[in-house]
Chain A
Amino acid sequence: MEVINLRHQIVVFGNYDDITPNMENIKYFIEVFSDKNLIPSQFKEISFNVTGNTVKNSDSARLSLTSTNGMWNIRFNVDRIDFVLTNSNIGKVEMPNTESFLTEVEDILTKVSQKFPKTYKRVGLVSQYLFKDIDTNQSSLKANKTISFFNEKPIVEWFNKTTTRMTIQIPEAEIINISNELRWVKTNIRIEDRNILFDGLLLNIDINTINDNQNYRFNSNNLKMLLKEISQIGETLKNQNVETLNS
């Protein structure tokens, strides 16, 4: 079984209304990210809010930064920044591990904060891995307690998701959601410059602070501690999945 590091995503929720694709901001980001080859562009964000007495249903132009090799994509939405690193050409591009990804995100966020100092209300880390050269029935048997009917037939699809909550100290107590999702997928991916139909297992690990707490309570130090803590949990989950599927 081969494990492919497919995608990392960090989301920091806050108020980024002011990070719009105007000339001043674009100029700033081109300068500070010249070493990373991040190209500014804009996208439309459609947002709507149905709580309270009013409904806000609007679209607005937002700023996005994309690397020339397509691996990095940073999207400045109104209430969240998405840092996404994708293994865009498996085997041809060097995919950093989670630790290096975190270091890069922290560096980018520091540069963003120099012009737009912020505090944050919620953080999420999503990591995706592909498991190649693995049998559908065997993997299903290892990850699920499948009833005998399916064990006697070729399984074409299976899905398994488990979520829990725990408290971590960063240094204040913070409740986090942790979900582990395994899904058999058939999808096209780019491997060594060729489009390959991948037929295998996708692992999606999502760790985030709970949505209920909307206080702007994280500064950059809390954020670093939080990302370190949740990435370690993510690594444990990944290792345990590999162990289970390899057993």
Chain B
Amino acid sequence: MAMIEIIDSVIDLNTNPAYELDNYDIKEFEEIKFDFDELFISVDENSTNFKLDENFVNQKRIDYLEQKITPLFISLVKNEDFEFGKKNESGKLIEEQLKFNSVATQNWFNKLYIRYFATDENILIGLLRVVESLNEQSLHPTGEIMAIAALSHKNDEVKELGIRIFENWCSLNSYEILKSIKVETVWLQDYINQVIKDIEVELCLY
């Protein structure tokens, strides 16, 4: 094709300063198309033409969550009495942040989970209770992954909470996930099997 040949020749002969493409639609050549406006845009905050990109926006939100929300949230998680079926303050705080930026909030929440998974079982249990209190969709897919990860924790209460989250959501998605889980611990597998049966009854799946 003639147009391809022109691109090739431009690439091969780049020691020459300029090429005339008067008779061709240069906009069709994505490889050589260049917009000077792009050079005007910068992700450097010191530039006059600093512009936010999506990653920057999310990172800004994560920074904000880490600096402003984490201390309050962890304090609530540590001190709150979680009652089944009742809205708790830490859950409300997460829901509020999810409305602002779901991606960044889930990322931030996941980072907290990983941090406390190995360092503080009490906070970890608190985090799982927050997940349990939330709607399945609001933390999807982070919530499911947290619950599955909880099953591998050495603490039995953490393991139990992992199943209880799915039990509480009682959805087809929870059912599918639980059906594909096999654990060594007998009491835990019994509990999983029981929850599977309960969901089957609840959702008329048998």
Contacts and interface: CB of A to CB of B under 8 A. Distances in A.
Contacts of A60: none
A188 B34 contact: yes
Given A187-B36, A204-B39, A126 B64 contact: no
A74 B53 CA distance: 23
Contacts of B47: 124, 177, 179, 206, 208
A194 interface: yes
Interface string A201-218: 010101010110000000
A38 B189 CA distance: 76
A147 interface: no
B15 A195 contact: no
Nearest to A188: B26
Interface of B is mostly: loop
Contacts of B64: 50-51
B101 to A, nearest CB: 7
Interface in B41-57: 42, 44-50, 52, 57
Contact of B48 (A48, A86, A208): A208
Interface stretch (A99-107, A128-136, A236-244): A128-136
B22 interface: yes
Interface of A is mostly: strand
A3 interface: no
B79 interface: no
Contact of A183 (B15, B21, B39, B61): B39
Contact of A206 (B16, B19, B26, B48): B48
A179 B44 CA distance: 11
B10 A186 contact: yes
B184 to A, nearest CB: 45
A185 B34 CA distance: 8
A223 to B, nearest CB: 15
Interface string B74-105: 00000000000000000000000000110000
A188 B19 CA distance: 9
Contacts of B17: 132-134, 198-200
A132 B47 CA distance: 26
A81 interface: no
Given A156-B14, A188-B33, 17 more contacts: A54-B100, A55-B61, A55-B101, A126-B49, A132-B17, A133-B17, A135-B15, A154-B15, A179-B46, A179-B47, A185-B34, A187-B36, A188-B34, A191-B18, A199-B16, A208-B47, A208-B48
